[in-house]
Amino acid sequence: MFRTRLRMLRLQQGERFVTEFAAKHKIPAYVLYRAERGLAYVPPRYRKRLAEALGVKVADILDERGFPLPA
């Protein structure tokens, strides 16, 4: 499996389940699920929200196109 910083940071925060994390931060679970696996980019409207939820800058977790960075 492709490891991303998104997944690593979420797990470090003790958030074991994608669905719970996504619901808590108002991000569609399918967006987070696919991004964590490197299968899709994060749409612009969710990038800042996701970074804030993880306590990092957008550039720390996503490239300029919105694709997740490897762990």
pLDDT tens-digit series, residues 12-66 = 999 999 999 999 999 999 999 999 998 999 999 999 999 999 999 999 999 999 9
Model pTM score: 0.90
Report domain extents, the chain: 5-61
Q: Which of 17, 3, 6 is nearest to 53 (CA)?
A: 6
Tell me, what DSSP letter sits at residue 25? T
C-alpha count within 13 angstroms, C-beta hemisphere, residue 35: 29
Tell me, what DSSP letter sits at residue 4? B
Question: Under CATH, what is the fold of the domain 5-61?
Answer: 434 Repressor (Amino-terminal Domain) (1.10.260)
